[in-house]
Amino acid sequence: MNPQLIKSYMFQLMKSIDHMHKKGIFHRDIKPENVLIESSTEAGKGLKLADFGSCRGIYSKHPYTEYISTRWYRAPECLLTDGYYGPEMDLWGVGCVMFEIISLYPLFPGTNEVDQINRIHKVLGTPTGEVLQKLRDALTALNPRADQVDVLNGDIDPALLTGLGLHSAVGSSDALRFLGEDIQSQASDANAEGRYLGATPSRHDAAIRTLSLRFAKPFVWSGFSAALELLTTLRGPDMLRVKGIVNVEGKPVVVQGVQHIFSPPIELDQWPSADRDSRLVFITRNIESDTIRNLMSAVTSL
pLDDT digits (tens, 9 = 90+) for 70-102: 899 999 988 877 788 999 999 999 999 999 999
* Distance from C-alpha of 27 to C-alpha of 95, rounded to nearest angstrom: 14
Query: Could you report the per-residue pLDDT of 253-282, keeping only the tens digit for each?
Result: 999 888 878 888 888 888 888 889 999 999
List pLDDT tens digits, range 187-205.
434 333 344 344 455 555 6
Band of pLDDT at residue 215, cut at 50, 70 and 90: very high
Residue 23, burial from CB neighbour count under 10 angstroms (0-12, 13-18, 19+): exposed
What pLDDT does residue 189 have? Answer: 41
3-state SS, residue 172: coil
pTM flag (> 0.75): no
The region that residue 283 occupies, defined by phi over 0 for left and psi between -120 and 50 for alpha, beta otherwise, is: beta
Domain spans, the chain: 3-142, 173-300
> What is the H or E stretch that residue 296 is in?
helix 289-300
Element (H, E) at 11: helix 3-22
CATH 1.10.510.10 fits 3-142, yes or no: yes
Q: What band does 245 get if pLDDT is binned at 50, 70 and 90?
A: very high
Architecture of domain 173-300: 2-Layer Sandwich (3.30)
- Judged against a pLDDT cut of 60, whether residue 134 lies above it is answered with yes
**C-alpha distances out from residue 134 to 56, 113, 150, 177, Å:** 25, 20, 14, 33
